Amino acid sequence: MNILTYDIEEWFAEETLYGDRKEKYPEYDQYLSQILDILDEKNVIGTFFCVGGLVPKYDDVIKRIAGRGHEIGCHSNQHHFLNKMSYEEVLADTKEAVDAIEQLIGKKVLSYRAPAFSIGESNKWVFDILAECGIERDASVFPAERDFGGFSNFPSETPCIINHEGHIIKEFPICMANVLNKRVAYSGGGYFRFFPLMFISSQMSKSKYAMAYFHIGDLIPESKSVMTREEYESYFKEKGSLINRYKRFIKANLGKKGAFDKMVSLIGKQTFISLEEADKQIDWSNVKQVNI
Ligand SMILES: [Zn+2]
């Protein structure tokens, strides 16, 4: 089973975080159109996790995706990293996003992904909030060390049931591959850009479960230079030293040339389904129960 997911925030993030560059909006529109056309052509339905912050001004983005039959999930409201927020802040953010998206599409929102997979040992209470907001499926667990969250000892790399203090969530963790004795997340982000398509596709072919995850911004060349200290600190909520800023810049831009085409080729090579469809296909009485 291969699941196809996109995290959609670019229009909102451009306005609030990336510098509101006027030329970027039509560019994002055009890449989204291409993605939707390709998925139509291949008869693929995916899950698009959208930030609630798109609803006031960029509702058209979500409507376009929903109109083509894809599942709309929630990717928070403001795209703030959850591990830098309090319980009350995450609760308010999630409620606002779920309400806004549900009102817009006229359908329940049942799937969630945290910005930058920012759930970890320190904020497991996010699962309580998700359950409280009517979320049934989560795709935020990164079963390895990570800067903004991650569970280094998570006992499952395939779909499982998370139980946190009686709150139940169906979890779809990020899938990992063994590379030189290291577990790496090969099906999205920087590693997707770094590894050859052949490697990624063959990993998916031999795995019982895989989940591809993309941001449009991760797949297209970026004209923007290194963030200013102010921009960096407001986005990452950590010290914006020159080293930190350059490290992030290199990480975020490595292998961007050709990444969009690689994503398109992968969709041509593999069969993908949405989280909603995967949920139906899984026999949940037979999966691991994870008490965290
Ligand atoms: Zn995101």
| Mean pLDDT computed over every residue of the chain | 92
**Mean per-residue pLDDT, 187-192:** 90
Instruction: State in Å: Cα 147 to ligand 1 middle.
Output: 15
Ligand 1 geometric centre to CA of 290 (Å)? 25
pLDDT at 158 over 70: yes
d(CA 214, CA 198): 18
**Ligand 1 centroid to 280 CA: how many Å?**
26
Centre of ligand 1 from the C-alpha of residue 7, in Å: 5
- The CA 80 to ligand 1 mean position distance, Å, reads 9
CA of residue 271 to ligand 1 center, whole Å: 24
Find the 50 Cα to ligand 1 centroid distance in Å.
8
pLDDT of residue 252: 72
Q: Identify the pLDDT of residue 246.
A: 78
pTM of the model: 0.91
Domains located in the chain, CATH noted: 2-221+256-285 (3.20.20.370)
> How many whole angstroms from 1 Cα to the centroid of ligand 1?
23
- pLDDT band at residue 215 using 50, 70 and 90 as cut-offs: very high
CB atoms within 10 A of CB 92: 15
Q: By percentage, how much of the chain surpasses pLDDT 70? A: 98
CA of 245 to the centre of ligand 1 (A): 19
pLDDT number for residue 7: 98
Residue 220 pLDDT > 90, yes or no? no
Whether 224 shows a pLDDT value over 70: the answer reads no
Q: Give the Å distance between the CA of 174 and the centre of ligand 1.
A: 14
How many Å lie between the centroid of ligand 1 and the Cα of residue 37? 22
Residues 72-120 have pLDDT tens digits of 999 999 999 999 999 999 999 999 999 999 999 999 999 999 999 999 9
What tokens does 228 get? Answer: 């200013």
Residue with tokens 């509702």: 59
Residue with the bigger pLDDT between 70 and 150: it is: 70
Quick one: what percent of the chain has pLDDT higher than 90?
74
Tell me, in angstroms, the distance from the centre of ligand 1 to residue 156's CA.
23
Q: According to the model, what pLDDT value does residue 63 have?
A: 98
**Run of H or E including 232:** helix 229-236
pLDDT band at 254 (very low <50, low <70, confident <90, very high): low
218 alpha carbon to ligand 1 midpoint, in Å? Answer: 10
Alpha-carbon distance of 214 to 7, in angstroms, equals 6
What's the 286 CA to ligand 1 centre distance in angstroms? 31
CA dihedral 148, 153, 156, 157 (to 10 degrees): 50
CA of 8 to the centre of ligand 1 (A): 6
